[in-house]
Amino acid sequence: MAKFTVPEGWEVVAYRFEVDRPGRHPEIASHQGARRFAWNWARDLVEEQLRVREAFRVLALRQGARAEEAEGFAEEAAALSYLVELEESRRKVHEARAGKKAPYQPVSVAVPWSAPAMRYVWNRVKDEVAPWWGENSKECYSSAFEALSRAFGDHFSSRDGGRKGPRVGWPRPKGRRGQQSTSFTTGAVKVLDRHHVQLPVVGVLRTKEQTDKLRLRLEAGTARALRATLVTKGSRTWVSFGVAREKPAKVTTLSGVAGHDVGVHALLVSSDGTVTGNPKAFEGVEKKVSRYQRHMDRQHRAGSPRCFNSDGTHVQGACYWRDRSRRAREAQHRLSRAHQEAADVRADAVHKASHQAAGTYAVNVVEDLGVSQLGRKGNGKRGFNRAWADASPAEHRRQLSYKCPRYGSALWLAARWYPGSKLCSGCRAKKPHLSRNARVFHCDSCGLAIDRDLNAARNLAALAELAVLCRLAQLVTGVPVDWSHLPVRPDGWEVASTRSSRGCARAGGQGNLADGGEVRRRSRKTSVTAETRSFDREAAEPPTGALVPEVA
């Protein structure tokens, strides 16, 4: 069967529905636990084969082999060491079926990095390592191997410099705590009616929301379900469908340019004066969270005394509080629901703001903020960090990245060190100092008094004129624009010289390399002061080597 490819004019989107009373379906927890077991089993298998290969490599080096010869010998020997028994059983099956008429072709897999290789080994040992595997759909095991293969690929790609962003670590073993999930790509994946969906082995699930938006498209043939995923967080479970559908016709007319300034005082301020208030989701549940945490702490101390030292501090290492009482589990569920309530309020506000921006304006300009750096630890920043995380500023830009192309609008990013808050939107004069507490921007040159967030949004909107001129110059001259030296760039165009990487030359240190210096990695044990751990865009200056546009 040929693999499905997304036709031209179609797009891949997701539909998510919450499952009604998931506790009535123990098959959900069974499938998620089976996926967790398959993940841990395959991870241990890969680690064991890596240790075997390293042992063979060291042995070859001690025998006088060159590095290339040792690598080849280790890979071949490791493959033979763990496939010999599997190939023997496979040979017997082949001879019994073919009667020695067809030549036997052994399969050699060096290390099971890929999902097919992991599935190949799993299918030959599953009766021994997991006799209960038939109780669940085979898709839960396949989804574990696919996810683990991507995790290994991301780790090695990040280590070799082929992946952007922070360093991706080695895949960790999965436990019962935290988010649980499992996916289905084949089998009975259907949307039955307005409130019921069907999954393989799991059966029919009732959803709280109506499924008409997806069901009617599937019945009309304008959409196709590619994948179904069950996700459990705390006491709530969702089923999400990855769907390929026809792109809907654009019925809204986009016009105008808008700059959007995100912050804590107001979630979003646009250059035309539109203000989206910050719902402050966590403040609404902060008292309940504190109360539930106190309840759980008292129950923890009473239910498992050996978890605590004589001075009342928790013992370092593993926690022994396994068999919790019914009331302790109820308190844990209430705490989880309180956090989920705040997350739902926060997500609703951000989705509505990004939807309005992407579907209203033809051009949207936002800041390329260093969100993780702004939220780092520092003296007197605890309250700001909590409010900053509650506002989720990075989520707004992430949603605009995929919503703007869907609605046909353009997204531009202002440079990270562009002083949008310190510039006057009227005369373009730069204010040397502007404290974070100042809510009104007073210009010393023209005397303009304006809300600081609205002033920053208008400065962002003004960058669209520069972007249009650069695009026009590229069309006339045919010379590509070097956006790294400009205060604005299109979304998706990454600035290589300002890419964050731990101690590498791409993190603004190319000038030092040009002068004959060397890149040095900072040790994790080195003490870091509060000034180096965080920065304040309103008060601090850009680091040496950062690309900062000169603004008059």
pLDDT in tens, 351-369: 999 999 999 999 999 998 8
pLDDT in tens, 133-183: 999 999 999 999 999 999 999 998 998 888 887 889 999 999 988 899 999
User: Does residue 44 surpass a pLDDT of 50?
Assistant: yes
Tokens of 447: 């005397």
What's the pLDDT band for 385 if we cut at 50, 70, 90? confident
User: Does residue 503 surpass a pLDDT of 70?
Assistant: no
Q: What is the mean pLDDT of residues 516-535?
A: 38
What's the pLDDT band for 54 if we cut at 50, 70, 90? confident
Tokens of 357: 């921006």
pLDDT in tens, 415-457: 888 888 899 998 888 888 888 788 899 998 888 899 999 999 9
pLDDT of residue 68: 75
User: Does residue 117 surpass a pLDDT of 80?
Assistant: yes
Q: What's the CA dihedral at 479, 482, 485, 487 to 10 degrees?
A: 100
CA distances from 333 to 280, 294, 309 (A): 22, 14, 27
Tokens of 548: 């900062």
Greater confidence, 403 or 532? 403
Which of 92-96, 189-193, 225-229 is predicted with the least confidence, judged by mean pLDDT? 92-96
pLDDT of residue 161: 85
Q: What is the mean pLDDT of residues 105-125?
A: 73
Tokens of 176: 């019962």
418 φ/ψ sector (left φ>0, alpha ψ -120 to 50, else beta):
beta
DSSP 482-527: -GGGSSEEETT---TTB---TT-TTBT-HHHHHTT----PPPTTS-
Q: What angle do CA 147, 149, 151 make, to 5 degrees?
A: 70
Domain spans of the chain, in order of start: 10-24+178-246, 26-159, 257-495
Greater confidence, 59 or 22? 22
Q: State what percent of residues in the chain have pLDDT above 90.
A: 45
pLDDT of residue 124: 82
Q: State what percent of residues in the chain have pLDDT above 70.
A: 81
Q: How far apart are CA 513 and CA 519, in angstroms?
A: 7
Name 260's Cβ contacts closer than 8 Å, sequence gap at least 6.
Answer: 268, 269, 270, 271, 357, 364, 365, 366, 396, 457, 460
